[in-house]
């Protein structure tokens, strides 16, 4: 959270943050089952066209999935922002969201026995995740079992927004570590002590090597694999997959990635994510500038 005085935060940022909080508070007056789709609708119909998301989604699909029918492209320009809005509403729902995850205990997949073994042995774990479904459903599900899941987050450029976003994600599960020298130092200490770290790998990083994603060169961070090798950590893909009702999740822990060359390990994770996105294209955040 930023300690910057409010008057030093640009007015535009304060207005954007205030508008967002206003929408969340208004939505909070609705029952949970109506609130989540209502915010999804708002993101799809208001936020997406204003922010230019529809064009970005269209352009990314044209590059990565050129044979997709026009009707499906049109559907995804609405469905992708809808999922993003639902995810944000869930984060700000606080205990209501976490309680639903605890009650459902949605963990599944071939990696689940390996996670149980790692917990019993006190072995560190790298949870390779993406901007897919709802990332925080995974953290809530793991935390509900008493497993030590931490996460690395990128502080928002909008400091006014960051001031309420960080407490919201911290309420779901902690610890969370900001990107930066102090955050990384604390994260490594946590990992060495047997902690589990959720690390994203699906965003462009100009310092990263080009790997393949949807048949296109995409700069992909090696950090998850490098940390797993350096600290003898279990590493596997894990994703919160939104279900057809739009409210519930399956949290799928994929098969562990064998320790090998870091590039080969991350290419395996890219391939696994591509398979998942092709099955559920509306749940990946096609708004990112993944291919530059």
52 falls within a domain: yes
212 falls within a domain: yes
What pLDDT is attached to residue 4? 47
What pLDDT is attached to residue 239? 97
Q: Does residue 67 sit in helix, strand or coil?
A: coil
Q: Please state, in angstroms and as integers, the Cα–Cα distance from residue 170 to each residue in 1, 166, 207, 244, 275, following that order.
A: 11, 6, 29, 27, 30
272 falls within a domain: yes
Q: What is the pTM of this model?
A: 0.92
Domain that holds residue 116: 6-283
pLDDT > 90 in the chain, percent = 86
270 falls within a domain: yes
Beta bridge partners of 236: 127
Nearest to 281 by CA among 93, 57, 110, 112: 57
Answer for the pair 235, 241: CB distance below 8 angstroms, yes or no: no
Calculate the average pLDDT of the chain.
94
What pLDDT is attached to residue 6? 52
Query: Structural domain tally of the chain?
Result: 1
217 falls within a domain: yes
pLDDT band at 3 (very low <50, low <70, confident <90, very high): very low
Q: Does residue 210 sit in helix, strand or coil?
A: strand
264 falls within a domain: yes
1 falls within a domain: no
200 falls within a domain: yes
Q: What is the CATH number of the domain that holds 53?
A: 3.40.1130
What pLDDT is attached to residue 1? 39
């Amino acid at each position: 959270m930023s300690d910057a005085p409010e008057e030093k935060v640009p007015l535009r940022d304060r207005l954007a943050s205030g508008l967002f909080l206003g929408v969340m508070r208004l939505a909070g007056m609705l029952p949970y089952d109506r609130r989540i789709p209502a915010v999804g609708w708002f993101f799809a119909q208001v936020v997406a066209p204003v922010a230019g998301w529809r064009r970005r989604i269209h352009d990314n699909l044209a590059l990565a999935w050129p044979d997709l029918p026009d009707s499906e492209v049109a559907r995804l320009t609405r469905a992708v922002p809808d999922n993003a809005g639902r995810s944000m509403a869930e984060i700000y729902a606080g205990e209501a969201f976490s309680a639903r995850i605890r009650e459902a205990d949605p963990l599944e997949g071939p990696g689940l026995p390996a996670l149980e073994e790692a917990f019993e042995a006190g072995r560190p774990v790298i949870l390779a995740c993406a901007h897919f479904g709802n990332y925080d459903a995974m953290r809530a599900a793991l935390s509900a079992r008493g497993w030590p899941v931490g996460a690395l987050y990128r502080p928002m450029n909008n400091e006014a927004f960051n001031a309420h976003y960080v407490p919201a994600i911290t309420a779901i599960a902690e610890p969370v570590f900001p990107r930066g020298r102090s955050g990384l130092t604390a994260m490594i200490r946590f990992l060495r002590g047997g902690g589990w770290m959720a690390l994203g790998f699906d965003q462009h990083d100009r310092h990263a090597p080009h790997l393949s994603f949807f048949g296109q060169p995409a700069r992909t961070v090696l950090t998850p694999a490098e940390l797993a090798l350096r600290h003898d950590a279990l590493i596997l893909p894990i994703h919160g997959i939104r279900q057809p009702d739009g409210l519930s999740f399956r949290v799928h822990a994929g098969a562990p990635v064998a320790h090998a060359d870091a590039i080969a390990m991350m290419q395996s994770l890219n391939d696994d994510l591509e398979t998942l996105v092709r099955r559920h294209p509306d749940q990946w955040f096609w708004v990112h500038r993944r291919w530059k």
